[in-house]
Amino acid sequence: MNEFDWAAMADLLELDGETHSPYLEQAFELLEELNRPAPRRILDIGSGPGVAACRLAAAFPQAEVTAVDGTPELLARAEARAERLGVRLRTRVAGFPAGLAELEPADLVWSGQVVHHVGDQQDALDRLAGLVEPGGVLAIVEGGLPSRWLPRDLGFGRPELQARLDALMADRFCRMRADLPDTVAVVEDWPGMLRSAGLTEVRSRTFLVDRPAPLAEGPRQAVRRTLERQRAGLAEHLDADDVATLDRLLDPADPAGVDRRTDLFVLAARTVHFGRRPERCPGSREGTPARRWSTRVRR
């Protein structure tokens, strides 16, 4: 599973998931329209601590919802969360991509920010599409825009710190992908890749997460945890002025730090790509996804 210690990231994943959850409400409304009749079985692949899975269970109370992840500690979080919220949720440990073959198909398969952690993304999508019952829907969250939390000029340090952090995070993302086992370079045309996985009626929708200042404690903590992670992982690539700025932002005693400043906000865009598995896939036996064209690239 690459450089990530997912279990150690549990708090951050849960806080971040809750902070960005307004986009889930909007995406699930669209899923309700697309999934008629209402789904009986739902899979959340790479559920992490279960923020989306629990919301799916609340939005589709008649369905059996299963949170699937490779990290048992995160699934334990998902179970505790479901109990706290009073929703029905099953969990299943599975490593991707191989473990997907052992899952029962579902009418709705959701996978948020997971496919990019798998070396061969087209293969992962093919397998996810293969988990969808004929007529059912696959929805993946990929792309979107990085979150913004801070004014361009903080009142100290060099303006545009977040732009520089975003550029370093983008580099790190490229290295993460390059280091994945069996990594395959591909044109990341998500709608095209869903079509290539045999899905039809493909569409993409981007949802805004807009939490204006002043921030409540939960989102404020999510920003702090993210900045701490960036400080730890990126400091060697930042100049001394930016490191000093980050230290000031993370100082709990500093009125200009993220714990106390009143101008902290969250603005983000999340893109969800939807596709339907045809009742019967043309050119394939048993309705299995037909690879029609390849988007793989040579480097």
Ligand X SMILES: C[S@@+](CC[C@H](N)C(=O)[O-])C[C@H]1O[C@@H](n2cnc3c(N)ncnc32)[C@H](O)[C@@H]1O
Rounded alpha-carbon distances, angstroms, from residue 10 to 7, 16, 256: 5, 10, 27
Among 70, 105, 134, 146, binds ligand X (CB under 6 A): 70
- The residue assigned the tokens 């989306």 is 52
Strands 90-93 and 145-148: unpaired
At its nearest, how many Å lie between ligand X and the CB of residue 26? 15
Q: Binding to ligand X (CB under 6 A): which residues in 73-92?
A: 74
Compose the 159-178 pattern: x for residues touching ligand X by CB under 6 A, - for all others: --------------------
End-to-end CA distance of the chain: 23
Quick one: which of 264, 273, 256, 74 has its CA closest to 193?
273
Q: Binding to ligand X (CB under 6 A): which residues in 6-25?
A: 6, 13, 17
User: Contact, 113 vs 142, CB < 8 A?
Assistant: yes
Q: Binding to ligand X (CB under 6 A): which residues in 103-122?
A: 112-114, 117-118
Among 46, 144, 219, 287, binds ligand X (CB under 6 A): 46
At its nearest, how many Å lie between ligand X and the CB of residue 156? 32
How far is the C-alpha of 101 from the C-alpha of 94, rounded, in Å?
9
At its nearest, how many Å lie between ligand X and the CB of residue 61? 21
Interface residues with ligand X (CB under 6 A)? 1, 6, 13, 17, 46-48, 52, 69-71, 74, 95-96, 112-114, 117-118, 141
